[in-house]
């Protein structure tokens, strides 16, 4: 034992971590049998999982039925039954935030898929060697800091000097197309009706590439001879798309739409940064996640905020189930 | 790859051209915000909001940096971001590789139920944890402690899933059995045989964890209260004010927060894309 300790110290002194770890792993676990080792391996994970993933959920459910006085420590809880839920369901701002969230989830989510599917089809069939580069470019926004991006966009959306309004002003000069565009600079962040489209645009920009990659992966599993056979039968590209590509994409479409539903209803960071954490004028950019954050941390009502988080969770679960029903392959068809 | 351009009518040649053009323009629109972030980072606030706005690099980046460091403990915030991201990557790799290996190779009590439970939490939206996490951290006295950011995330359901799949797919049971026969200790098998073979999966998981931690906003927003303990995203957000935002400095900060991600992405975009969509693409 003393020898091993000495060898270990020497190895550490030499900064030879590999040798040190070899000595340690040979000595310490001598008594571990294959029957006990899984418990040793899994315990750090399980411990953290129970404390920081599972317990918070249970605690949040408990909290939803209580009123908590933050200044009096964790034990200062009063049971109030379903009062928190009743408060949330009678709260105008809660309903407004739900409306905002669904609005922005639709306005950012639907175009994502409408653009991503044709884009993925094109990247799959054409482009050849440039494909990896194109995929990388479209995917890039997904991995960058939401905060940095939202900050940048808040300058691009500035009314008088923002690039987006300048671009719109230029495009307004073009006949035909120009008549569709506003003649005056748009007050993106100041006017309630403009906040949601601005936020949705950023979300669309951020998640488009992610969906392209999903659809591209699904497209690559479609056997090429299906298209071959269709061409032999004289099917044009549209019929090939409608009768081969779309049906084959169905499982991925379900998955990608589900992710959009779950992600869209959690929307927090983009509107939080763009509206300074308050939800914008007339709360037009206040998503439900922002409102429950404010209910807890600005208004100190942790119980009501927990109740709201469960209500939003049920909405997410319900909509996921509905998507599942809508996209599930029907019995009898493929 | 399916090639569809066997016929040669003019419509057939025009369509791919149009498609190329659209993808090209779309790609530029994707990249444009990054371009302006880096261009604006080199201009002062008055330059950014002038007509026409700058489209090329200026020379105000040092001035911006000075404003940044005078308004915030910026270098400290940057270091803290790095520290939290590194620690969270280290812990996640260690605990998820141990857990994933155990889930894949061993039988133990409650294994199936536990795994189902862990996978179930993958579906729980992040806002569900916001309030209880704050209260738990408050009770533990972890408010304003970096460990509040890297310890909880180390039990990463996605990470355990990723490692488990990788072990099942590419580490033969016979290999582990043979090592056992040769008298290798159980933890020795994990450390000297399994871990090295896991390298590709751990590389992907490490990248994803590092990036997620670097970008994390909600986590620090909940637990970090004093500006000296802000991570980069929180620090940038603190620079924003309704009346007097130093846009040049803010853009410099944003560019500094984005640059490491761009470098990481250029070095490993294939691995990253595959990893981030691996739950979906099977």
Assigned domain for B267 exists:
no
Residues A182 and A188: their CA atoms lie apart, in Å, by 12
CA atoms within 13 A on the CB side of A112: 34
Distance from CA of A333 to the nearest CA of B (A): 22
User: Can you read off the two tokens belonging to residue A200?
Assistant: 């949705």
Could you give the maximum distance between any two Cα atoms of chain B, in Å?
76
Same domain, B41 and B126: no
Q: Which residue of B has its CA nearest to A134?
A: B27
Average pLDDT over residues B25-42: 92
Same domain, B53 and B130: no
Going by pLDDT thresholds of 50, 70 and 90, the confidence category of residue A334 is: very low
Same domain, B45 and B79: no
Assigned domain for B259 exists:
no
Q: Domain count of chain B?
A: 2
Please report, for the domain that includes residue B94, its CATH number: 1.10.3720.10
Going by pLDDT thresholds of 50, 70 and 90, the confidence category of residue A128 is: low
Q: Give the Cβ contact number of residue B214 at 10 Å.
A: 25
Same domain, B124 and B21: no
Q: Could you tell me the sign of the dihedral formed by the alpha carbons of B139, B145, B150, B151, in that order? A: negative
Is the peptide bond preceding residue B38 cis, with omega within 30 degrees of 0?
no
Per DSSP, the three-state class of A160 is coil
A322-331, B204-213, B226-235: least confident range: A322-331
Q: Which residue is associated with the tokens 């197309």?
A: A177
Q: Which residue has the higher pLDDT, B8 or A235?
A: A235
Going by pLDDT thresholds of 50, 70 and 90, the confidence category of residue A19 is: confident
A227-241, B192-206, B256-270: least confident range: A227-241
Alpha-carbon A281 to chain mean position: 25
Q: What is the pLDDT of residue A221?
A: 86
pLDDT at residue B116 greater than cutoff 70? yes
Average pLDDT over residues A194-203: 93
Tell me the whole-structure pTM to 2 decimals: 0.87
Going by pLDDT thresholds of 50, 70 and 90, the confidence category of residue A292 is: very high
Residues A309 and A302: their CA atoms lie apart, in Å, by 10
**Cross-chain Cβ contact B99/A41 below 8 Å:** yes
Extended strands (E) in chain A: 66-68, 77-79
Domain A86-327 superfamily per CATH: MetI-like (1.10.3720.10)
Going by pLDDT thresholds of 50, 70 and 90, the confidence category of residue A332 is: very low
Residues A152 and B37: their CA atoms lie apart, in Å, by 6
DSSP 8-state assignment for residue B189: I
Going by pLDDT thresholds of 50, 70 and 90, the confidence category of residue B6 is: very low
Same domain, B146 and B228: yes
ipTM score over 0.90, yes or no: no
Same domain, B21 and B147: no
Phi and psi at A78, nearest 5°, equal -120, 130
Of A46, A68, A158, the CB nearest to B114: A46
Residues A83 and A197: their CA atoms lie apart, in Å, by 35
Q: Could you tell me where in chain A the CATH 1.10.3720.10 domains are found?
A: 86-327
Q: Which residue of B has its CA nearest to A155?
A: B247
Residues B134 and A292: their CA atoms lie apart, in Å, by 13
Q: What is the pLDDT of residue A25?
A: 64
Residues B220 and B83: their CA atoms lie apart, in Å, by 13
Assigned domain for B180 exists:
yes
Q: Which domain holds residue B219?
A: 72-239
Mutate one of A121, A147, A238 to test the B interface: name it (highest B CB count within 10 A): A147
Residues B190 and B58: their CA atoms lie apart, in Å, by 53
Q: What is the pLDDT of residue B224?
A: 94
**Cross-chain Cβ contact A155/B95 below 8 Å:** no
Alpha-carbon A270 to chain mean position: 11
Average pLDDT over residues A91-115: 94
Same domain, B230 and B111: yes
Residues B126 and B195: their CA atoms lie apart, in Å, by 30
Of B20, B192, B254, the CB nearest to A148: B254
Q: Give the Cβ contact number of residue A95 at 10 Å.
A: 13
Computed over every residue of chain A, the mean pLDDT equals: 85
pLDDT at residue A284 greater than cutoff 60? yes
Same domain, B47 and B102: no
Beta-carbon contacts below 8 Å between A and B: 300
Assigned domain for B227 exists:
yes
Average pLDDT over residues B41-70: 85
Assigned domain for B265 exists:
no
Same domain, B54 and B100: no
Q: Which residue has the higher pLDDT, A126 or A294?
A: A294
pLDDT at residue B3 greater than cutoff 50? no
Query: Cβ contacts (< 8 Å) between A167 and chain B: which residues?
Result: none
Q: Among B220, B83, B264, B199, which residue's Cα sits nearest to residue A143?
A: B264
Q: What is the pLDDT of residue B45?
A: 83
Assigned domain for B39 exists:
yes
Q: Among A174, A173, A154, which residue's Cα sits nearest to residue A164?
A: A154
Residues B234 and B66: their CA atoms lie apart, in Å, by 19
**Cross-chain Cβ contact A32/B185 below 8 Å:** yes
Q: Give the Cβ contact number of residue A315 at 10 Å.
A: 16
Q: Give the Cβ contact number of residue A49 at 10 Å.
A: 24
Same domain, B31 and B156: no
DSSP string, B98-167: HHHHHHHH---TTHHHHHHHHHHHTTS-THHHHHHHHHHHHHHT-TT-THHHHSGGGS-HHHHHHHHHHH
**Cross-chain Cβ contact B33/A126 below 8 Å:** no
């Amino acid at each position: 034992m003393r020898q091993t300790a000495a060898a270990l110290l020497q190895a550490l002194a030499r900064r030879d971590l590999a040798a040190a770890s070899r000595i340690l792993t040979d000595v310490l676990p001598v008594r571990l049998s294959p029957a006990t080792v899984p418990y040793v391996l899994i315990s750090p994970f399980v411990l953290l999982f129970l404390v920081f993933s599972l317990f918070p959920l249970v605690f949040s459910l408990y909290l939803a039925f209580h009123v908590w006085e933050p200044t009096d420590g964790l034990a200062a809880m009063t049971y109030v039954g379903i009062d928190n839920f009743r408060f949330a369901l009678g709260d105008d701002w809660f309903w407004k935030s739900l409306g905002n969230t669904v609005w922005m989830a639709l306005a950012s989510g639907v175009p994502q898929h409408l653009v991503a599917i044709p884009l993925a089809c094109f990247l799959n069939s054409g482009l050849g060697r440039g494909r990896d580069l194109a995929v990388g470019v479209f995917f890039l926004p997904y991995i960058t800091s939401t905060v940095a991006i939202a900050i940048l966009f808040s300058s691009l959306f500035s009314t008088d000097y923002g690039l987006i309004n300048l671009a719109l002003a230029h495009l307004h000069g073009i006949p035909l197309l120009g008549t569709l565009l506003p003649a005056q600079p748009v007050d993106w962040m100041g006017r309630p009706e403009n906040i949601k489209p601005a936020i949705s645009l950023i979300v669309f920009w951020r998640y488009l590439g992610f969906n392209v990659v999903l659809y591209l992966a699904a497209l690559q599993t479609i056997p090429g001879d299906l298209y071959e056979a269709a061409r032999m039968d004289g099917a044009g590209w549209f019929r090939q798309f409608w009768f081969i590509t779309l049906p084959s994409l169905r499982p991925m479409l379900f998955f990608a739409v589900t992710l959009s539903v779950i992600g869209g209803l959690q929307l927090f960071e983009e509107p939080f940064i763009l509206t300074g954490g308050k939800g914008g004028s007339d709360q037009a950019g206040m998503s439900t996640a922002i409102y429950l954050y404010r209910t807890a941390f600005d208004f100190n009502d942790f119980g009501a905020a927990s109740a709201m988080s469960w209500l939003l969770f049920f909405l997410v679960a319900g909509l996921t189930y509905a998507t599942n029903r809508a996209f599930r392959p029907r019995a009898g068809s493929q | 790859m399916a090639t569809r351009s066997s016929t040669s009518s003019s419509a057939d040649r025009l369509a791919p051209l149009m498609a190329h053009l659209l993808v090209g323009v779309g790609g530029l629109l994707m990249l444009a915000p990054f371009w302006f972030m880096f261009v604006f980072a080199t201009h002062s606030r008055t330059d950014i909001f002038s007509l026409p706005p700058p489209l090329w690099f200026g020379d105000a980046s040092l001035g911006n940096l000075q404003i940044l460091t005078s308004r915030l403990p910026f270098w400290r915030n940057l270091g803290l971001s790095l520290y939290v991201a590194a620690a969270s990557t280290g812990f996640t790799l260690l605990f998820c590789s141990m857990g994933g290996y155990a889930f894949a190779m061993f039988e133990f009590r409650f294994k199936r139920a536990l795994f189902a439970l862990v996978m179930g939490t993958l579906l729980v939206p992040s806002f569900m944890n916001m309030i209880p996490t704050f209260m738990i951290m408050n009770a533990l006295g972890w408010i304003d402690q970096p460990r509040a950011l890297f310890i909880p995330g180390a039990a990463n359901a996605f990470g355990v899933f990723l490692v488990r799949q990788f072990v099942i797919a590419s580490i033969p049971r016979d290999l582990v059995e043979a090592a056992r026969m040769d008298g290798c200790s159980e933890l020795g098998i994990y450390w000297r045989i399994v871990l090295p073979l896991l390298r590709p999966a751990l590389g992907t998981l490490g990248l994803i964890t590092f990036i997620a931690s670097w970008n994390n906003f909600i986590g620090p927003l909940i637990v970090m209260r004093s500006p000296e303990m802000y991570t980069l995203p929180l620090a940038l957000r603190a620079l924003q004010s309704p009346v007097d935002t130093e846009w040049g400095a803010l853009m410099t900060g944003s560019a500094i927060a984005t640059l490491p991600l761009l470098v990481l992405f250029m070095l490993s975009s294939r691995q990253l894309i595959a990893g981030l969509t691996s739950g979906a693409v099977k």
